[in-house]
Amino acid sequence: MEQPLPSPATRPPRPRLLLADALVLGGLVLLGLFASQLAGAGLILWGLDGDLESLNRLLADPESFGSRGRYFLLTLQGLATVGTFVLPPVLLVWRFRHQSLWSLSPRLIKDNMQLLWAVLLVPALAPLLELTITWNKNLSLPASLEAFELWAQAKEDQLARLTEYLIAFDGFGQFLLGLFVIAVLPALGEELLFRGTLQPMLQRATGSPHRAIWLTAIVFSAIHVQFYGFVPRMLLGALFGYLYYWSGNISIPILAHFTNNGITVVLSYLQRSGQTSLDPDNLPAAPLPVLLASVVAGAAVLYRFRARYFVPTMPPAP
């Protein structure tokens, strides 16, 4: 059997190196977040002719700026995604590990069907994921957590209003910008950071790919700070994690992640432009036969994908 190329996840655990990697990665993320926010604020301030009061009003009430405010916020979000998620893993791999970014993909794409399975998996599981979304949205907490529940609901409402404003595109050009910022950049950056970098770190630390996948999925969901979307996002993170573990190629979860985000953006654009009545934010509950079909289809795709493309990694040398 063909031996897989060595990957970061198969190296012997070195606690000091793991801790150093984690500290460096965390520092790069914080630095990237600060730098991107600073750069974004400076760019927007330049677009507002240096009017600091308008900048504060834009951040507090972007709807009052209309379509222009949407361009500003999409630019700010795009810069934040690059600074927080794209650059840190790239710098960690290149500067501190002295490797190219291709080291995150120790195995090459085997065939075009591998890409097709990654694309088909998200719509196949959509009814099942929508069920978890509805359940998580309607989750009631005990009275002792009332303060947290009120905060979480307020945060959810705030993010929902912001998202609704961002995807109310004025024209095809703004839709393309939104697709790039909301679907392409997060798929690239979040998969490089979480699946490509954090997951192998945790696998070396725990000695278990499954613990690493689920711990990474928990962190991935928690960083979005949306309690009422925590469970479905965690499940998606675990799905992307297993796709990476089985394929050995970071482009597979990137493609699946893009498909998930892209479907929502495209459906929102089509719905708002009157080309479809399907609202991705208010999908009807799927009947039981559809849910069962989703489970069977998703399981079949996952089974086929794992059976065809998974090559168990060799144990580390003693």
> Contact at 8 Å (CB) between 235 and 132?
yes
Q: Which two tokens stand for residue 205?
A: 């630390």
Measure Cα distances from 221 to 47, 59, 190, 215 in Å: 33, 24, 11, 10
Residue 151 lies in domain:
8-309
Length reported for the chain? 318
What does the alpha-carbon distance between residue 239 and residue 257 come to, in Å, rounded to a whole number?
10
- What pLDDT, on a 0 to 100 scale, did the predictor assign at position 5? 44
- What pLDDT, on a 0 to 100 scale, did the predictor assign at position 94? 85
- What pLDDT, on a 0 to 100 scale, did the predictor assign at position 14? 54
- Listed in sequence order, the DSSP H helices in the chain are 15-47, 52-60, 66-81, 87-91, 112-137, 146-166, 172-179, 185-190, 199-206, 209-222, 230-247, 251-272, 288-309
- What pLDDT, on a 0 to 100 scale, did the predictor assign at position 180? 96
> Contact at 8 Å (CB) between 171 and 245?
no
- What pLDDT, on a 0 to 100 scale, did the predictor assign at position 161? 86
DSSP per-residue codes, 10-47: GSPP-HHHHHHHHHHHHHHHHHHHHHHHHHHHHHHHHH
For residue 208, the Cα-to-chain-centroid distance in whole angstroms is 22
Q: Which two tokens stand for residue 79?
A: 């810069």
Question: Could you read off the pLDDT tens digit of each residue along the chain, which spans 318 residues?
Answer: 444 444 444 444 555 567 777 888 899 999 999 999 999 888 888 888 777 888 888 888 888 888 888 999 999 999 999 999 999 999 988 877 767 778 888 888 888 889 998 998 988 898 888 889 888 988 888 888 888 888 888 888 888 888 888 888 888 989 999 999 999 999 999 999 999 999 998 998 888 999 999 999 999 999 988 888 899 999 999 999 999 999 999 999 999 999 999 999 998 899 888 787 777 777 777 788 888 988 898 999 899 999 999 987 643 333
Would residue 314 count as lying in a domain? no
Would residue 315 count as lying in a domain? no
Would residue 90 count as lying in a domain? yes
Global confidence as pTM: 0.88
Would residue 185 count as lying in a domain? yes
Would residue 318 count as lying in a domain? no
Would residue 3 count as lying in a domain? no
- What pLDDT, on a 0 to 100 scale, did the predictor assign at position 183? 95
Would residue 106 count as lying in a domain? yes
- What pLDDT, on a 0 to 100 scale, did the predictor assign at position 237? 96
Measure Cα distances from 174 to 39, 231, 258, 298 in Å: 21, 31, 18, 33
State how many domains the chain has: 1
Would residue 1 count as lying in a domain? no
End-to-end C-alpha distance for the chain, whole angstroms: 22
> Contact at 8 Å (CB) between 204 and 113?
no
